[in-house]
Structure 1
Amino acid sequence: MNIWSKKLAAAVCLSAVPFSAVMAQGGYPNQAIRLLVGYSPGGSVDIVAREYAQHLGQLLKQSVVVENRGGASGTIAAQAVASAPADGYTLFFTASPTVTITPALQKTNFDPIKDFQPVATVVSYTNVLLVNAASPYKDIQSLVTAAKANPGKLTYGSAGVGASNHLSGELFEQNAGIELTHVPYKGNAPAQSDLIADRITMLFDLNTTAKNLVESGRVRALAVTSGERNAMFKDVPTMVQAGYPKFIFDGWLGILAPAGTSAEVVKALSDANAKILANNAFRERMQASGYTIVDSSPKQVGERIASEGEQFRDLAERANLRQD
């Protein structure tokens, strides 16, 4: 056999090797991975993404570069990933509202089901119902009683229309049968300031930022929106425990890839995710920041996006929140 025949035979043999076997030999990744984040540097999602990228890079023995594409509630980054090559080198580190709440409220340039391949969840977070420390409301029952006696007079702040704390307020109204007045702000910080100044009645704040406010004694926590009590607020009941069994809202951060990404690449990333979430240093860092570790399979992530998207579409229709 001459040299050209040998090369041809070798090429034929290589083409017959399954992609998973090529990956096992180091075929993926063989270049840097871009991890797109839909928010600005220094924010809560960005901080988690950068910690995650460091661990992912160490496991895959390749650079994982965080790229911030902030704006439009994360949809700019989402669109960039949806239109990227499905080769595993462009991934989306997303907060769940971008793919569950935002598409329920307005038209987007991506389909959260058709345009993404789910990979994994990383952590979850909850919202905490806060009132001013001088507020007469000591529990959910007293707050609901006052709201029913004064329809529309009690107010709740949010980080803006469509934010998770806005939707939490809408869920509260519908589950408790009350009428509140929504006061949207340009972010959580000004809403927190007005709650502390007693200019608004309540705020569903992220548990990751609510802790310091509660510990400072400036606000009081009445309930959390997660299905189970949050480790940072062990003495605070859930909305379910307060008497509203259908009121559960858990936000999450996770990884999505462009639709069409191969099963082998998804498995490699999902396996790496499981190892990251089992890493004690990563777990301790996340838990100290108020997050709960949540490892879901690609199938479970897809099912969660679909079910939560349907929930928020129904909520948007009932509350007449759809903007287009």
Structure 2
Amino acid sequence: MRALFGILLACLAPVLGAPSALAQDSWPSRPVKIIVPFPAGGSTDIIAREVAQGLTAKFGQQFLVDNRPGASGTVGTAAVAKSPGDGYTFLVTASHFTIVPSLYQQITYDPLKDFKSVSLLVTIPVIVVAHPSVPVKTVKDLIAYDKSHPGKLNFGSSGAGGVNHLSAELFNYLANTHLTHIAYKGTAPAMQDLIAGHVQIMFDAVLTSLPHIRTGAIKPIALTGAKPSPLFPDLPTVAASGLPGYETSSWVAMFAPAGTPPEIITQVSEEVHRILNQPAIKDRQQSQGVEIAASTPQQLDDVVKAEIPKWSTLIKKVGVTVE
């Protein structure tokens, strides 16, 4: 009898001892939430919805984008950090993820300890744009106008601590200008105020500026990256316009709460890579100035670990602070 009982235990042990494996086999069995810590309509939100649509089609469960803006993306990011690592919550965010730890001393999460990397999604060039009423066409014009009209030029951003904010602060530092920062809760409201003329300048993702450039609602001044864009073959970079050493760009990436099973991380990462490299999606994104950068989790880990100290050094050098 005792021998029979031992045999039964041995047979049942793989099942009883691996409930998470059973759960993973049926994943996803209900809708999955993708939290975007910025308002709808910005570049991060646009990319998140592209990915969510593809994941829904692949896995047969809804992947729902949940916009939770506030405090430069820290509100939504903190919500993901506190979520169970069960594969039913993900984060799609931007470069803010590696910037805000050096700006906000009181954030409630650790970007290295509280998250698991899933995949880098895209890289997005940043462009300097202006309201048509601003009498400048080039970087040199912008610098000269600011110096001759101190206090007249404001720049809008999606919030303190984002790449577009720091791009402008780096510009101020290198050009000795005094563009005044006006922070918004996301790119969309900042862009609305630029179009309305309530702010005069933005350092913005090409993805969200391009439609308004095409209609003439705003005008391009320069690109912040290291090279020109095929979308704007005659538009120079800031560095080539008289500020050598100036370079910034942005990215969008996907993360999961710490503790998410590696099997789920791998499934989602591989599917994201497939989705974003579909010819139709790749061509559409490239036509909007977006470069597909789907990566492995390890490659995204490397980006995060490299960028946190990079932005920290820049923030200290430029002297950026937030209230």
One-letter amino acid matched to 1:229: P
Match runs of 1:38-117 below 5 Å: 38-97=37-96, 99-106=97-104, 107-117=106-116
What is the alpha-carbon root mean square deviation over aligned residues?
3.4
Query: 1:172: Cα distance to partner?
Result: 0.9
Q: Matches of 1:71 and 1:173 in 2, distance apart?
A: 25
Aligned to 1:207: 206
* Conservation of the 8 A alpha-carbon contact between 2:223 and 2:238: yes
Task: Give SS of 1:232's match.
Answer: coil
Aligned to 2:295: 296
Q: Matches of 1:284 and 1:225 in 2, distance apart?
A: 23
Judged with a 3 Å threshold, the aligned counterparts in structure 2 of structure 1 residues 192 and 41 are, in CA distance, closer, same or farther, namely closer
Q: Per-residue CA shift, 1:81-108, capped at 9, x if unaligned?
A: 11222232221111221x1232222131
Using the size of structure 1 for normalisation, the TM-score is 0.81
Q: Matches of 2:193 and 2:264 in 1, distance apart?
A: 47
Aligned to 1:216: 215
Aligned to 1:249: 248
Q: Matches of 1:87 and 1:257 in 2, distance apart?
A: 9
Greater shift in the superposed pair: 258-267 or 106-115? 258-267
Q: Matches of 1:29 and 1:193 in 2, distance apart?
A: 41
* Conservation of the 8 A alpha-carbon contact between 1:119 and 1:256: yes
Does 1:265 pair with 2:275?
no
Task: Give SS of 1:93's match.
Answer: strand
Aligned to 1:157: 155
Task: Give SS of 1:101's match.
Answer: helix
One-letter amino acid matched to 1:31: S
* Identity level (%): 31
Judged with a 3 Å threshold, the aligned counterparts in structure 2 of structure 1 residues 87 and 232 are, in CA distance, closer, same or farther, namely same
Q: Matches of 1:199 and 1:263 in 2, distance apart?
A: 47
Q: Matches of 1:113 and 1:131 in 2, distance apart?
A: 37
Structure 2: any 5+ residue segments left out of the alignment? none
Judged with a 3 Å threshold, the aligned counterparts in structure 2 of structure 1 residues 58 and 218 are, in CA distance, closer, same or farther, namely closer
One-letter amino acid matched to 1:314: T
Aligned to 2:13: 12
Match runs of 1:167-206 below 5 Å: 167-176=166-175, 178-186=176-184, 188=187, 192=191, 202-206=201-205
Q: Matches of 1:196 and 1:146 in 2, distance apart?
A: 20
* Conservation of the 8 A alpha-carbon contact between 2:28 and 2:59: no
* Conservation of the 8 A alpha-carbon contact between 2:151 and 2:178: yes
Task: Give SS of 2:122's match.
Answer: strand
Q: Per-residue CA shift, 1:164-205, capped at 9, x if unaligned?
A: 3221111112233x1213141535566556655767553223
Judged with a 3 Å threshold, the aligned counterparts in structure 2 of structure 1 residues 245 and 85 are, in CA distance, closer, same or farther, namely farther
Q: Matches of 1:258 and 1:182 in 2, distance apart?
A: 36
* Conservation of the 8 A alpha-carbon contact between 1:155 and 1:183: no
Task: Give SS of 2:231's match.
Answer: helix
Q: Per-residue CA shift, 1:138-185, capped at 9, x if unaligned?
A: 3223433555x5494562411243343221111112233x12131415
One-letter amino acid matched to 1:256: F
Task: Give SS of 1:211's match.
Answer: helix
Using the size of structure 2 for normalisation, the TM-score is 0.81
* Conservation of the 8 A alpha-carbon contact between 1:117 and 1:261: yes
Aligned to 2:279: 280
Q: Matches of 2:126 and 2:189 in 1, distance apart?
A: 17
Q: Matches of 2:306 and 2:152 in 1, distance apart?
A: 31
Judged with a 3 Å threshold, the aligned counterparts in structure 2 of structure 1 residues 230 and 3 are, in CA distance, closer, same or farther, namely farther
Greater shift in the superposed pair: 218-227 or 114-123? 218-227
Q: Matches of 2:75 and 2:193 in 1, distance apart?
A: 30
Aligned to 1:321: 320
Q: Matches of 2:73 and 2:226 in 1, distance apart?
A: 26
Q: Matches of 2:53 and 2:194 in 1, distance apart?
A: 37
* Conservation of the 8 A alpha-carbon contact between 1:211 and 1:232: no
Judged with a 3 Å threshold, the aligned counterparts in structure 2 of structure 1 residues 37 and 146 are, in CA distance, closer, same or farther, namely closer
Q: Per-residue CA shift, 1:231-267, capped at 9, x if unaligned?
A: 4323322234335453222222211011233433322
Q: Matches of 1:164 and 1:38 in 2, distance apart?
A: 15
Q: Per-residue CA shift, 1:107-150, capped at 9, x if unaligned?
A: 31111122111110112222211234455533223433555x54
